[in-house]
Structure 1
Amino acid sequence: MKLFVITTPFFFEGESRIIIHLFREGMQRLHLRKPQSDIDKFRLLLDAIPVEYHSRIVLHEHFELTAGYRLAGIHLNSRNNTLPEGFAGSISRSCHSLQEVQDNKQLDYVFLSPIFQSISKEGYGNGFPMERLREAAASGIINEKVIALGGIEEKNIPLIASLHFGGAAILGALWGKDPSVTNETSIIKRYKQLDIWQ
């Protein structure tokens, strides 16, 4: 299994420093998700991250940046669902039903959410009865290309693994409510606790 990190939906002071620290700790995949954010702020963040880590970054917005940066891939969603012309990187998508997972088998991987009660989005509860997830795992719908998202914490990662998910995506459990450079140490500590596969 792999651990995927999703950025906060907002930019914050010291974010690039923490992202670089996470890469140095072994983070393999960062999903850069900042809905309604300006493309210039994306550029500033990407420019602050050493080029050696760009191949581990996936964009959720401003896909045109793939022309100027050697990034890992793009993540399709309801806001951005058109592939850039000639794009050859990885392609992923957000899914909110098992049918959507089946309809997107051709993609490199998909996020399935919400698996548990969301930490970062209030009132965004688990959308799947555990028995249905077990059935989906047994029938091969959930496999190494399906990444669990929503309420992922250290305590439920073993359950995610037992359901044959290919990985887990984290947001709230890592960043907390108010991330900043002053709590960089605690963010890195949480990352190490969550990345049980290193």
Structure 2
Amino acid sequence: MKQLIAITTPTCFPGEGKIITSLFEAGLERLHLRKPDAGKEIIAALIHQIPDQFYSRIVIHDHFSLASEYALGGVHLNRRNPNAPDHFTGSISRSCHSIQELDTWKSLDYLFLSPIFQSISKEGYGNGFPWHELEEATERGFINPKVFALGGIDASHIRQLKGLGFGGAVVLGALWGKQPGESDSREIMERFNQLITAIKES
């Protein structure tokens, strides 16, 4: 694996922009800004809390017009927003929940496959793929460097996925914890360092 991608918590919290900035400064290459119930103004306010030198590392899941407005790195397609803006030049990604979907959307810049393990942040959102199915998907080229593992990913699981062909891992709960706040900055950075170390070793 080569890259760690972080997804924001679904809701905003005090100090979030400052912590995101610290993560970028520590080496986070890509952050998916996902706040499905937040309005455009709230998303824009969060972006404003982050230095513009990091905007190219941010991918948004909603309010795609902000991607061009702030020269963000990409958009992530979903049921709410199934199409990228016209003439968009950033990356276009999408989440997949079956091996077949990986083939259907292989023309996009990169894909998430989930859930791989029992979700840390979503109770009841469990393991969706038998291990042999993942191995077969790797052998057939469906899992490749453009596909990222999502769902229950922590440092130990990153090491477990070594050899399966994923380009990297996507984390949410393993990074942010249950209910993050500004006072949790040190713990979040410690977890980030553990995750980055696991990526380097996998």
- 1:47-105 Cα offsets, whole Å, 9 max, x none, are 11000000000000000112211111000011111211211110000100000001011
Q: How does 1:28-177 map to 2 (within 5 A)?
A: 28-177=29-178
CA distance in 1, matches of 2:163, 2:183: 36
CA distance in 2, matches of 1:87, 1:35: 21
Q: Distance in 2 between matches of 1:182 and 1:67?
A: 33
Native 8 Å contact 1:160 1:168 kept in 2: no
Q: Distance in 2 between matches of 1:67 and 1:54?
A: 11
Q: CA separation in 2, counterparts of 1:62 and 1:160?
A: 33
* 3-state SS in 2 of match to 1:23: helix
User: Using the alignment, how far apart are the partners of 2:172 and 2:79 within structure 1?
Assistant: 19
Greater shift, 75-84 or 14-23, is seen at: 75-84
Q: Which whole-Å CA distance do the structure 2 matches of 1:85 and 1:123 have between them?
A: 37
Structure 1 vs Structure 2 CA RMSD:
0.8
- AA aligned to 1:77 is N
TM-fit CA distance, 1:186: 0.2
Give the count of matched residue pairs. 198
Superposed structure 1 runs of 4+ greater than 3 Å apart? none
CA distance in 1, matches of 2:67, 2:75: 8
Letter in 2 for 1:21: S
Aligned counterparts of 2:163 and 2:37: Cα–Cα separation in 1 = 36
Give the aligned partner of residue 183 of structure 1.
184
Q: Which runs of 5+ in 1 are unaligned?
A: none
Partner of 2:22: 21
- Structure 1 SS opposite 2:148: strand
Cα distance between partner residues in 2 of 1:70 and 1:186: 30
User: Is the partner of 1:44 in helix, strand or coil?
Assistant: helix
Gaps of 5+ in 2: none
CA distance in 1, matches of 2:49, 2:119: 30
- Aligned partner of 2:3 in structure 1 is 2
Report the alpha carbon displacement of residue 17 of structure 1 after superposing the two structures with TM.
Answer: 0.6
Q: Normalized against structure 2, the TM-score is what?
A: 0.96
The answer to whether the 8 A contact 1:161-1:167 is kept is: no
Residue 168 of structure 1: CA displacement?
0.2
Q: How high is the TM-score relative to the length of structure 1?
A: 0.98
Q: Is the 8 A contact 1:148 1:169 kept in 2?
A: yes
**1:171 corresponds to which letter in structure 2?**
L
* Contact 1:110-1:147 at 8 Å conserved across structures: yes
Partners of 2:177 and 2:37 lie apart in 1 by: 21
